[in-house]
Structures are given as structure tokens and as C-alpha cells.
Amino acid sequence: MLQRATFLGLAAGTAPLLNGCTNSVPACADPTLQSAGEAQMRRTLAYVERASNSSEQCGGCAFFRGGAGECGHCEILNGAVSRLGYCNSWAGRG
Ligand code: SF4
């Protein structure tokens, strides 16, 4: 039988491997730190961490500000968003 301490040790050892999964989407904004207004705005604009259409992602949106990292800042949501995210206010850079 697997002892609790052994299980916890194995679980801790696998965490770095799980973090390296290529399909993971970065959690750029901690929902527990958002105000009710911020959370409501994200729901209203149907923000998602991963866009279903790769040609309309936050990283290509006129309202996205960020460097080369996975996360950036959205001027509409006034908070952190994923470069791979999307919301209904997406606007291409003209
Ligand atoms: S407006 Fe929407 S699509 Fe554009 S950066 Fe903000 S969250 Fe992403």
C-alpha cells in the first residue's frame, strides 16, 4: 500500500513535469484577486484564456500591451490576460 508520505513525495516530484506540459495555458490573472467589477467585465465580454480562433488572440489585439511573455495587459479589462486569450471586444491592429 502506498503510504501518505510516499504519495506526497511522488506528487511533489511530478509537479515540475506537469508544469512543462505544452498544452497548459498560463493563468495570467488570479480570479481571487479580482474585484467583483473586474470579474463581471470578464464574464460580460466572455473572456477566455485560450481563443478558439488562433487568428483572433489577445496577442494580436489592438488593446493588448505586453512583451514577449505569455501574459500581458488588456486596456479594456484593465488587467492581466493571456497572449492566447480572447474576448468579444477583440480588435485587430490596423
Ligand atoms: S480586448 Fe479582449 S481580445 Fe483584446 S486584449 Fe483585451 S481581452 Fe484580449
Q: For residue 47, which of 26, 68, 20, 76 has the smallest C-alpha distance?
A: 76
Residue 26 CA to residue 83 CA, distance in Å, equals 9
Q: What is the pLDDT of residues 49-66, one digit of tens each?
A: 999 999 999 999 999 999
Q: Report the mean per-residue pLDDT for the chain.
A: 81
Mean pLDDT calculated for residue range 26-32: 84
Instruction: Map out the domains of the chain with their CATH numbers.
Output: 26-82 (4.10.490.10)
| 51 CA: nearest ligand 1 atom | 3
Distance 71 CA to ligand 1 centre (A): 12
Mutate to test the pocket of ligand 1, among 38, 86, 88, 93 (most ligand atoms within 8 A of CB): 86
pLDDT at 79 over 90: yes
- Is this structure's pTM higher than 0.85? no
Q: What is the pLDDT of residues 5-26, one digit of tens each?
A: 444 444 444 433 434 444 566 6
**Phi and psi angles of residue 24, each rounded to the nearest 5 degrees, phi first:** -75, 145
